Amino acid sequence: MSSDRVVIRVSHLSKQYRLGGPQEPYHTFRDAIVSSLKVPLKVFHKAPPAEGFWALKDVSFDVEQGEVVGIIGRNGAGKSTLLKILSRITSPTEGTVELHGRVGSLLEVGTGFHLELTGRENIYLSGSIMGMKRSEIDAKLDEIVKFSGVEKFLDTPVKRYSSGMMVRLGFSVAAHLDPEILIVDEVLAVGDAQFQKKCLGKMDQVSKGEGRTVLFVSHNMAMISSLCDSGFLIEKGKIRTSGSIENVINAYLNSDQVGNGEVIFKDHLPGDKQAVLHSARILDQKGSPTVNAQINEPFFIEIEYELFEDGMRVYPNLHVKDSYGQYVFVSSDSVFDNDSAKKSKAQKYVSRCKIPGNFLNAGTFYVGVALTSVNPLNIHFYEQDLLFVTIHDPIEGIPTRAEGYSGPIPGPVRPLLEWNLISSV
């Protein structure tokens, strides 16, 4: 990594918070004088040391100019603490941070805003805190206001704003006042879908068009994937994985996944008085449970359920999503349809669905299983994301498609469809 392009350098950064015990209070000048008179007495009334909690521990990384870096982790992993240190809101316990350039931050609704001031006044306040001259802010004012969409309320105290309005103005200020480094936390989730799309477009423009650096935290993997090229995963205050955003997202999504591709219910069976689910599994071609499949080989999804009434018109069905939580497909079996010669009986059944090779793309997919019946419509059970399977592309560089191409292809599916040459012109 070229040192002259590094705009953020974090070295052995740690942050400790105290759990319980006396907290550090806010002191006035009068309090300081009174406290100084009591110093000799403190030796007789020492409080027990408070327990320490390390929100971050020995975190190190570099970010180059123009990079858009996604920071991923579960709640309590240390993401917000890291951003607060980078934004100079709090100080580290150990380690150092080097920032080369002005920082614009949007960490929570109303970050840096004075609630008694108007929207206009807060724009100038934020710019002044970032070290901008009034003339610089004047030049950006119209653009900020137009992007935020709060023109009618610009001269209203921001304490009257809704959370959505606060986010709109806060992001607009942070993105338009020429920061070399833009830091955005999960706060964008407060905005509506249209504004989120505007924000993504603006961050893309800021990074790729203007060469600025963006640090972006979100639990929305689709948003992270579309915006970021690289990232890192934080777990328990430490960086677990870093690199391409695809690898980091997969590590995050699979971090809590254990098992062998099979779920068996014993004590509490999902379902109702008419039907229950006993088990579900992913099977390879040999019929063994698995969580892995080759991209050009078929695998099977099998569910075992029990009916308690004769003549039920039931439909076992699968709900398959990609690693971003987006639906890929839903499939159901109509073996017990009215037109079928088969009639269901009160007994156990096993339904198996074949997923052909060269259908799903490389990546991790989540399978929900359900059983529904009609006349009347009833959902007897639906277990979301019950199973997962990771589709692997064979050894890189070895073609797995007829056209000789190997490597990633956009989208959740990559089917080999039937093509015919009708004529040549």
Q: In terms of pLDDT, which residue wins out, 50 or 131?
A: 131
User: Quick one: pLDDT at residue 274?
Assistant: 94
Q: In terms of pLDDT, which residue wins out, 378 or 254?
A: 378
Residue 34: pLDDT band (50, 70, 90) is very low
Residue 45: pLDDT band (50, 70, 90) is very low
Whether the per-residue pLDDT at 38 is higher than 60: the answer is no
- No. of helices (H) and no. of strands (E), the chain: 8, 18
Residue 33: pLDDT band (50, 70, 90) is very low
Residue 269: pLDDT band (50, 70, 90) is very high
Orientation angle between helical segments 163-176 and 119-129, nearest 10 degrees: 40
Q: Which residues contact 298 (CB under 8 A, 6 or more apart)?
A: 285, 354, 355, 356, 357
User: Quick one: pLDDT at residue 189?
Assistant: 60
| Contact by Cβ (8 Å): 94, 12 | yes
When mean pLDDT is compared across 101-105, 144-148, 257-261, the lowest value belongs to 257-261
What are the domain boundaries of the chain? 3-22+45-253, 262-392
Q: Which CATH number fits domain 3-22+45-253: 3.40.50.300, 3.40.50.620, 3.40.50.2300, 2.60.120.260?
A: 3.40.50.300
The tokens describing 392, both together, are: 């692997």
Q: Which residues contact 414 (CB under 8 A, 6 or more apart)?
A: 295, 358, 359, 360, 361, 401
User: Quick one: pLDDT at residue 20?
Assistant: 62
Whether the per-residue pLDDT at 110 is higher than 70: the answer is no
Top-tier CATH class for 262-392: mainly beta
Whether the per-residue pLDDT at 191 is higher than 70: the answer is no
Residue 3: pLDDT band (50, 70, 90) is low
Q: In terms of pLDDT, which residue wins out, 197 or 22?
A: 197
In this chain, the answer to whether the domains covering 3-22+45-253 and 262-392 adopt an identical fold is: no
- Computed over every residue of the chain, the mean pLDDT equals 82
Q: Which residues contact 66 (CB under 8 A, 6 or more apart)?
A: 207, 208, 211, 212, 213
User: Quick one: pLDDT at residue 170?
Assistant: 82
- Each residue's pLDDT tens digit, 294-340: 988 999 999 999 999 988 889 999 999 987 778 899 999 987 766 55
Strands lying side by side in the sheet with 181-184: 103-106, 181-184, 213-217, 68-72, 230-235, 238-244
User: Quick one: pLDDT at residue 26?
Assistant: 47
Distance from C-alpha of 40 to C-alpha of 25, rounded to nearest angstrom: 20
Per DSSP, what are the bridge partners of residue 329? 320
Whether the per-residue pLDDT at 177 is higher than 80: the answer is no
Q: In terms of pLDDT, which residue wins out, 176 or 241?
A: 241
Sign (positive/negative) of CA torsion 257, 259, 262, 264? negative
Whether the per-residue pLDDT at 358 is higher than 60: the answer is yes
Q: State percent of the chain over pLDDT 90.
A: 33
66: closest CA among 180, 178, 183? 180
Average of per-residue pLDDT across 214-224: 81
- Each residue's pLDDT tens digit, 376-390: 789 999 998 888 898
Q: In terms of pLDDT, which residue wins out, 394 or 141?
A: 141
Q: In terms of pLDDT, which residue wins out, 71 or 185?
A: 71
User: Quick one: pLDDT at residue 287?
Assistant: 93
Whether the per-residue pLDDT at 17 is higher than 50: the answer is yes
When mean pLDDT is compared across 84-98, 171-185, 315-329, the lowest value belongs to 171-185
| Contact by Cβ (8 Å): 213, 5 | no
Average of per-residue pLDDT across 57-69: 92
User: Quick one: pLDDT at residue 275?
Assistant: 95
| Contact by Cβ (8 Å): 280, 253 | no
DSSP 110: T
User: Quick one: pLDDT at residue 341?
Assistant: 54
Strand 230-235 and strand 238-244: the pairing is: antiparallel
Residue 182: pLDDT band (50, 70, 90) is confident
Q: Which residues contact 98 (CB under 8 A, 6 or more apart)?
A: 6, 8, 9, 10, 11
